[in-house]
Structure 1
Amino acid sequence: MKVTVEESCIGCGLCESICPKVFKLNEDNFAEVVVNHVESGDEKIVNEAEENCPVSAIKVRG
């Protein structure tokens, strides 16, 4: 599973609060992905972060 955060991110931090193993806010207060590959056990929670992103900036493939 590949996860990206698009430039439309508003830095609300919801993804980080839902799944801190995969997302964090960077020094500019925008979300970024901190892993190269999401483990199978984390897929459900990453999908939850994607579904709850208020600006649909999280994209999940695979």
Structure 2
Amino acid sequence: TTEDGEEAFPFENPRHIQQPLIQTIVDELSGTGTCPSHGESAARTSWVMDQLIRGNAAPG
């Protein structure tokens, strides 16, 4: 924790950050698994991300 109260949680990103999701999609399409993501969860995630960056985005 820094003096101004910020706290960091360092971690290593996977080599390809989207690989786990891509694999679940491939598994779903090939009939060997299921993908937990769907249009509704994608829309919700997009909304949350928009709220998080609101006011913090670089000027366009």
More helix by share: 2
Do Structure 1 and Structure 2 share a fold, with TM-score over 0.5? no
TM-score by length of 1: 0.26
Query: Which protein has the larger Cα radius of gyration, Structure 1 or Structure 2?
Result: 2
More strand by share: 1
